[in-house]
Amino acid sequence: MSSRLPCPRFLIAAALATLVGGCITPSIPIPPPDPSEMRIPIDVTSGTATFSYGPETNYAGALVYVYDRTREVGVIAHARADGSVGPTQPFPAGDGDNVSVSFQTADDVVAACVVIRANSPIPANFCTQ
């Protein structure tokens, strides 16, 4: 009975595969924006709204897109170091408009679309379209 030792190339390849596999960790997705943390008050006199968001460390330094899908306009802002945003510059908006809010970090993009109301700065419903 002869027993052969594994080929050195095989051992090196196996060691490299183990090292590379150990370096890859699954990324944990960041949560989508929470409508209860959004403030989108509408100024009915001027027909505009602004956007604010409370601190969320996952959004620190993110590029923030606030887009009124109904009127096809929006604003772009940066989240602060604590992940908070705004208030942004005013953008055209009205009661019942669908507003999409996206946070773009170096690793991920998360978004939520909400329906804004003139009588409440906090969106109560998600977009249906």
pLDDT digit string, tens, across residues 78-98: 999 999 999 999 999 999 999
Contacts for 115 with CB less than 8 Å, ≥ 6 apart:
96, 97, 98, 99, 123, 124, 125, 126, 127
Mean pLDDT of 3-22: 59
pLDDT digits (tens, 9 = 90+) for 20-75: 555 555 667 889 999 999 999 999 999 999 999 999 999 999 999 999 999 999 99
Instruction: State the CATH class of domain 35-126.
Output: mainly beta
DSSP state of 22: H
CA distance 75 to 22: 42
Distance separating alpha carbons of residues 83 and 81, to the nearest angstrom: 5
Task: Give the integer Cα–Cα distance in Å for 24 and 32.
Answer: 24
pLDDT of residue 124: 82
Both ends of the chain: CA-CA distance in Å? 72
Mean pLDDT of 89-111: 96
Q: Where are the domains of the chain?
A: 35-126
pTM over 0.85: no
Task: List all residues 6 or more positions away from 10 whose beta carbon is below 8 Å from its beta carbon.
Answer: none
